[in-house]
Structure 1
Amino acid sequence: MLQVPFIRDNKETVIAGLAKRHFDAKDLVEQVIVLDEERRTLQSKLDNTLAESNVISKEIGILYKSGQGEKANALKEKTSALKESSKTLTEDLNTTAEKLQNLLYQLPNVPHESVPAGKSEEENEEIFNEGEVPKLFDGAQPHWELAKKYDIIDFELGNKISGAGFPVYKGKGARLQRALISYFLDKNTAAGYTEYQLPHLVNEASCYGTGQLPDKEGQMYHDSRDDLYLIPTAEVPGTNVFRDVLLNESDLPIGITGYTPCFRREAGSYGAHVRGLNRLHQFDKVEIIRVEHPENSYNAFFGMVEHIKSILRELKLPYRILKLCGGDTGFPSAMTYDFEVFSTAQDRWLEISSVSNFETYQANRLKLRFKNSDGKNELAHTLNGSSLALPRVLAGILENYQTENGISIPDVLVPYTGFKNIQ
């Protein structure tokens, strides 16, 4: 959530920055400024009323002690009027503050100055690519055909049990899935991240804290009886570990990692481009999350990018990195890099990771602060990245490592799988 003083002092910068997203913020920004002025005026009146009431209350006590009861009783009528006024002012202040908060929830983060303007993914910038695309033999197949051929993922069984988008992993498919999770977690903990096991359902406050609400309400599964949401990513419970926390500057940086299943409704997703593992309602992902000092958050961001590069190099998968344009950058993010792996059998790029710096946007919602060297409370910066999302990594391995005699396993995973190929 954007900070009101920043909006007030940088009105044109905010409007111009959000225009990179093709988001017309002018009216919302004006309403925020007007409501904030009303809120500050009401707060000032309330403070003055309470102060006057306190002064008179003390004076009444003195009058009673000195035997001037009539004067004291006369002043009591005035304090009653002041109390009634303060009650009205408090109600008006709360109503105005709530309206202001709801307006702020509607404003996305201002993109970093280096983020290009653009409407959609077609305007994202490729900034890096690495790895040689393998030349497959005639008759090479996409992963959903390989999964059926070697009986390692059963999409029809998942459809029977739950519905489309809930695959069942079997035999070596399940072991390869587990191997990837263990490998990712080991890589992350070796890089200094502390492993967490996190809840798979979260409350509404957690969703507001990281920016899933109100932006992505229709994309999440919701249990209305208990008012809990199935997590769309470990980012939500992982970042909310630090909600309402005041850190010391010496605590920073903090890095955590965790494996969770993720649940997304993905409403409106149809067609060949979402076949097999390309888009699911339930999938596994390993996440990395960082809480950083504002002065170091972009160093940390690029460090996370290098970390994910190292994983893809060890898996020997061809990949590229895209800097997302304003229109494709997530609602709470200031800057996002997407990683995509090349699927040789499908002849297309598949997104496998996003690394994002939210700067103070999430921290302001979370009330995540640290005490700086001057002894003042300051908002931290939050970052997160997929390290990695499993379905499309698995799809890339199955397709790019296929041979006429089966599917080879990347060398780095063999100690985790206990086998070198799927036949």
Structure 2
Amino acid sequence: MSFPWAKEYKPSHPMMQWLDDRLPMPRLVYNAIGAGYPVPRNLNYFYNFGVLAGFCLVLQIITGVVLAMHYGGNTLVAFDSTEHIMRDVNWGWMMRYAHANGASAFFVVVYLHIFRGFYYGSYKAPREMIWLLGVTIFLLMMATAFMGYVLPWGQMSYWGAQVITGLFGAIPLVGEPIQHWLLGGFAPDNAALNRFYSLHFLMPFVIAGVVILHIWALHIPGSTNPTGVEVKTESDTVPFHPYYTAKDGFGLGVFLLIYCAILFFAPNMLGHPDNYIPANPMQTPAHIVPEWYFWPFYAILRAFTMDFLFFPAKLMGVLAMFSAILVWFFLPWLDKSPVRSANYRPLYKKFFWFGLIPSMLVLFYCGGAPAAEPYVMLSQLASLYYFAHFLIIVPIVSSIERPDPLPFSITDSVLGSDGAKA
């Protein structure tokens, strides 16, 4: 973001001057997170989740690299090597629990980050590219998390791989060849485990690359804010450092308190006990479920129970599951309202809090429940509303609603018109 009042980096120390002339890393850091990056002065704590997501990514990369030093990517030893990490490696139990619960923490903050974007209209012009890169990051996260869930080679790991890769088999003509290509055979075995292990190690670095593009795209138009009003004057902004580094630091402290409480006192709370049983292709678990962060999309998949004309239920479920995320790519063009923030869109706000949020909560719950009534029916109703919200309600509401008056500037929204004049 380029503003005439943004401070320029001018190193005073000769060593820093020499470094900045030859490799301007200090200038890059200063302009990215220092006083050279003006930020809207009214950002609330919902804007902390981007920094928390970056922290989670770094945490996952560090713990993952350490775990990879002790893991055996072979079906004969994978489960035993995981137990070896837990029992014999110094602090191995903490590294594994930190990595497993770090994945859950990563998805928590990213889900909150995404829904903050829904509420405050962060996907609207001129920030479409930021949003598109963010959805891409989410898809890469899901692929990485799935492959990581397979690595312990427990019962749920094996059967999760069988079910998820089996979804590609629903695609007409090319489905089964794709499934066999993914697995390296006809069922999850050593070839599949090696492929998932290799890709699971690689994908976080791909995510880190897309995150850099995401941040780069953010710095071009600058951050949005709870009012949705663009920055007009210098009084609308404050330097990122020290104001938001302090605010993000406080948010990080709260996050770490919750994360460490789960890590040290309830590390298996978000896992499945069947994954402490070695993989057995001859014994199907009574209730196969993915990790909790896949539950809403798993519920959408299972909501299709009957064939329709020439379309089998499984194929429709697979298409709906992927479409549930792909529809986010089109949100900048589905929502035509000139007002960004739902704080000034009374009708949209009602559909958001009393429609989208409850439907997602129902999908989360039903995705982890057995594939039986009434959960299937609830999944169908919630899935119907979910797609209707993005494809029907959002376009119609954005065309017919009458937004509330916007403040003239960000300063007005913080201080009021009298304070701004003073």
TM-score bracket, normalised by the shorter chain, equals under 0.3
Higher helix share: 2
* TM score, norm. by length of structure 1: 0.22
Higher strand share: 1
* TM score, norm. by length of structure 2: 0.23
